[in-house]
């Protein structure tokens, strides 16, 4: 996954409302914008904006069913974001390990 795609994922996940939409979609098969507007303390228009950010990041996909669009989670980009965070975490572990050695052995 390219940097730009990952940037879109982190932009989407930086917002608490969008994170709560993702959490809802983990426990439900799919939702409509109307259902989300009923669940969340935000307007239908705000729900649409948040869904657009999640769709842009590839985290959510919509498909039309009758008169409404149903949205479901497409978790591929979450795996990629998680793998990226894993690399950062490993770098920190390496730094902390060097710090531990430095502290235990004293400066040379």
Partner 1 sequence: MSEGVVTRSLSIGAGAADVWDALVDPSRLEDWFADEVDAQDGELCPGSEVLFRWDDGTERVGVVQEVDAPRRLAFRWADGGGEETEVAFELAEEPAGTRVTVVERGLTARSAAGRALSWGPRLAGLRLAACAVAA
Q: Which residues bind partner 1 (CB under 8 A)?
A: 3-4, 6-8, 10-11, 14, 16, 49, 52-53, 56-57
Q: Residue 61 phi/psi, 5° resolution?
A: -125, 145
How far CA 77 is from CA of 14, 18, 55, 64, in Å, comes to 14, 15, 11, 22
Q: Rounded to the nearest whole angstrom, what is the least distance from the CB of residue 103 to partner 1 in the complex?
A: 20
Q: Rounded to the nearest whole angstrom, what is the least distance from the CB of residue 25 to partner 1 in the complex?
A: 19
Asked if residue 72 lies in contact with residue 36, where contact means CB atoms within 8 angstroms, the answer is no
Query: Of 25 and 53, which has the nearer Cβ to partner 1?
Result: 53
Q: Rounded to the nearest whole angstrom, what is the least distance from the CB of residue 93 to partner 1 in the complex?
A: 17
Cβ-proximal residues to 10 (8 Å cutoff; 6+ apart), any chain? 81
SS3 62: strand
Query: Of 2 and 107, which has the nearer Cβ to partner 1?
Result: 2
Query: Of 11 and 86, which has the nearer Cβ to partner 1?
Result: 11
């Amino acid at each position: 996954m390219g940097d730009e795609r990952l940037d879109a994922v982190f932009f989407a996940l930086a917002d608490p409302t969008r994170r709560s939409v993702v959490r809802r979609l983990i426990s439900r098969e799919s939702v409509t914008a109307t259902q989300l507007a009923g669940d969340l303390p935000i307007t239908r228009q705000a729900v649409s904006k948040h869904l657009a950010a999640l769709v842009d990041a590839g985290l959510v996909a919509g498909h039309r069913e009758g008169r409404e669009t149903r949205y479901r989670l497409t978790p591929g980009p979450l795996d990629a974001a998680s793998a990226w965070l894993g690399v950062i975490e490993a770098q920190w572990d390496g730094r902390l390990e060097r710090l531990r050695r430095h502290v235990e052995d004293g400066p040379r």
